[in-house]
Amino acid sequence: MNYSNSKYWDSCALIAGILLTLSFAPFDYPYFALLALVLLFTSWRHISAKRAALRGYLFGLGAFGSGVSWVYVSMHDFGGAGVLGSSVLTSLFFAFWALFPALAGYLSAKMKGQSRFIIVPVIWVLIEYFRGYWVLNGFPWLQIAYSQLETPLAGYIPIVGVYGTGFMLALTASVIVEVERGKKSWFLITVLVLLWTVGGLLRIQLWTHEIGRPLRVSMVQGNIAQDQKWRPENKINTLLKYKRMTEQHWDSNIIIWPETAIPAYLDQVKDAFLDPLGNDAKLHNTDLIISVPVQDRSPTRNYNAVITMGKEEGIYRKTHLLPFGEYLPLQPLSGFVLNMIKIRLGNFTSGAVNQPLLKAGGYPFITLICYEDAFGDLSIQGLPDAAFLVNVTNDGWFGDSIEPHQHMQMARMRAMETGRFLLRSTNTGTTAIVSPNGKIISDAPLFEEIALTGSIIPMGGMTPYARWGDKPVIAAMIIVLLGLMGYGRVFKTLRS
């Protein structure tokens, strides 16, 4: 087949990007991710690096154009930008992130030789890591491993996390491409069969253990529209709603409110509202986990924070901020552009990295505010001391789009990596209780006012991923890449 001149393969790359989106929630066709990579990797064979970059870029446009289309909703419906401004910025957003699969294609086409079937997935994962961890504070959306929570590869998540699992999926696709070309290596096929079989068996492996009695928990989903949330005339009604819904669940050990549930700074509501509520919580032997913005006066700094009240009192300030949502990177250009199109954004400061763990229900827990649940390294800080995870978020910014479903899928990965229950409290959904194996035990319907109540068990112990994190996997990928590149040069020299 002619790979270099066929416009057919250009189209396949674009379609493959759309197929990748269909592998994630809410569509949940996980094997479409494998099909997408097979098509993409096949399209990269026997072509120039520039052509491979083009096909990678088309793949990226298909994936990000369909998979993160919710960016338009946040900018137009709730950010205050007009149709033209939102459309232009959304298009630029897609165009920028599509550069990363283009880079993967370019580098993959540059690599030739017998070991290319290993080099291509290594490059793919390293590019995902660079995009998901470093660029603009990290954008890990649509990383391929998140599509595999229900496949046999999920068994590897507590061991090697999102990047190691992603490598195994990409390696599978790369080997399939080799087999399709007639290189029917029984060794490679056997390795793949073993890889997927062992992964399936590992899904029943328990890495952590129970350390206490079940805790009754309630998560309040206020369902307050984003365009109404910060209006001054709605503040009192919002506070009364959360107070009323909390008082209906004083029989719970822990009650959690979603991200910035209180539309005011902490010092504005502490004396008149929060302190009396905290006293009531003590009387009922209940701990409250409440998200509220905090302002330090000298110097003036704003924090997206979570506080605990009741038997235990403490505060956590968000460390990993959302670019363009909670702070503006690339200043002064980004501020100038956003001011022109009148998008209103927050201006927050990052909290300290090593903050003490908050406690509720008698146990310390790991706090993840909104976007922080997209980063595995944040969910393992504080282990093994933490007995469960708490994620508070507000996906109301994205309306009735696919974003809340994708975000929930990413949060489930954190439960699997740590072997802990995850309590996820949101403003409009998806509010849920997730088990240590990533299963959703119970969840609340989207866009409904409800307090989701259930039970969790405090967990102890460490998964292999919790001990090692992402660094060993990434280091191994770099060593493999450099080693194969060096081997290729030596082999080429000997042949000449």
DSSP 8-state assignment for residue 15: H
Identify residue 127 by its one-letter amino acid code. Answer: I
According to the model, what pLDDT value does residue 336 have? 43
Q: What is the pLDDT of residues 244-272, one digit of tens each?
A: 999 999 999 999 999 989 999 999 999 99
User: Which of 318, 359, 372, 417 is the catalytic position?
Assistant: 318
Helix (H, G, I), strand (E, B) or coil at 76: helix
**Is the pLDDT score of 344 beyond 60?**
no
Is 184 tagged catalytic? no
318 carries an active-site annotation: yes
Chain-centre distance for alpha carbon 60 = 18
pLDDT at residue 487, rounded to an integer: 63
Q: What is the pLDDT of residue 338?
A: 45
Of 198, 206, 175, 199, which Cα lies nearest the Cα of 188? 175
* Highest mean pLDDT (candidates 27-41, 313-327, 385-399): 27-41
Q: Catalogue the long-range contacts made by 109-114 (C-beta closer than 8 Å, 24 or more residues apart).
A: 109/44, 109/47, 109/48, 109/49, 109/51, 109/52, 109/53, 110/49, 111/484, 111/485, 111/488, 112/488, 113/484, 113/488, 113/491, 113/492
pLDDT of 141-187, one tens digit each? 999 999 999 999 999 999 999 999 999 999 999 999 988 766 567 88
Is the pLDDT at 233 greater than 60? The verdict is yes
Give residue 333's pLDDT band: very low, low, confident or very high (50, 70, 90): very low
pLDDT of residue 291: 95
Q: Which of 417, 435, 418, 431 is nearest to 365 (CA)?
A: 418
pLDDT for position 142: 97
Give the other-Cβ count within 10 Å of 491's Cβ. Answer: 13
Bond preceding residue 323 cis, omega within 30 of 0: no
Answer whether residue 491 shows pLDDT above 50: no
Per-residue confidence at 230, pLDDT binned at 50, 70, 90? Answer: confident
Q: Which residue has the higher pLDDT, 114 or 416?
A: 416
DSSP at 327: B
263-288 in b/e burial notation, b at 16+ Cβ within 10 A?
Answer: bbbbebbbeebbeebbebbeebebbb
Q: CB neighbours of 204 closer than 8 A, spacing ≥ 6? A: none
- Give the count of beta carbons closer than 10 Å to the beta carbon of residue 311: 17
Whether the per-residue pLDDT at 337 is higher than 70: the answer is no
Catalytic residue among 370, 372, 403, 417: 370
Among 128, 259, 372, 403, the active-site one is 259
Backbone angles phi, psi at 354, to 5 degrees: -100, 70
**Is the separation of the CB atoms in 167 and 121 below 8 Å?**
yes
Distance of CA 2 to the CA centre of its chain: 38
Give residue 346's pLDDT. Answer: 60
Specify the pairing of strand 254-256 against strand 287-296: parallel
Q: What proportion of the chain, given as a percentage, has pLDDT over 70? A: 91
Distances in Å between the alpha carbon of 360 and those of 64, 256, 311, 423? 39, 10, 8, 12
Average pLDDT, the chain: 90
- pLDDT digits 0-9 by tens, 186-196: 888 888 999 99
- Rounded Cα distance between 104 and 128, Å, is 9
State which amino acid sits at residue 305. Answer: A
Let me know if 372 is a catalytic residue: no
* Rounded-to-integer distance, Cα 16 and Cα 43, Å: 10
Is residue 446 predicted with pLDDT exceeding 90? yes
d(CA 153, CA 172): 11
pLDDT at position 496 over 70? no
Give the orientation angle of helix 31-43 with respect to helix 99-110, to 10 degrees. Answer: 50
User: pLDDT-based confidence at 118, cuts 50/70/90?
Assistant: very high
Give the end-to-end CA distance of the chain in Å, rounded to a whole number.
Answer: 29
Q: Centre a 10 Å sphere on the Cβ of residue 14 and count the other Cβ atoms it contains.
A: 18
Host H or E run for residue 459: strand 459-460
Query: Which pLDDT does position 85 carry in this prediction?
Result: 86
**% of the chain surpassing 90 pLDDT:** 74
For residue 490, pLDDT beyond 50? no
pLDDT of residue 334: 42
More confident call, 392 vs 328: 392
Q: List pLDDT tens digits, range 49-94.
A: 999 999 999 999 999 999 999 999 888 877 777 888 889 989 999 9
Question: Is-contact 60 101, C-beta < 8 A?
Answer: yes
For every residue of 136-174, DSSP letters joined together read GG---TT-GGGGGTTSGGGGGHHHHHHHHHHHHHHHHHH
DSSP 51: H
Region 102-121: what's the mean pLDDT? 88
Tokens 């029917």 belong to residue: 184
Confidence at residue 348, expressed as pLDDT on a 0 to 100 scale: 83
**For residues 436 and 417, what is the distance between their CA atoms, to the nearest angstrom?**
8
Inter-CA distances, 196 with 99, 104, 223, 494, Å: 31, 25, 41, 37
- The encoded tokens of residue 318 equal 């968000």
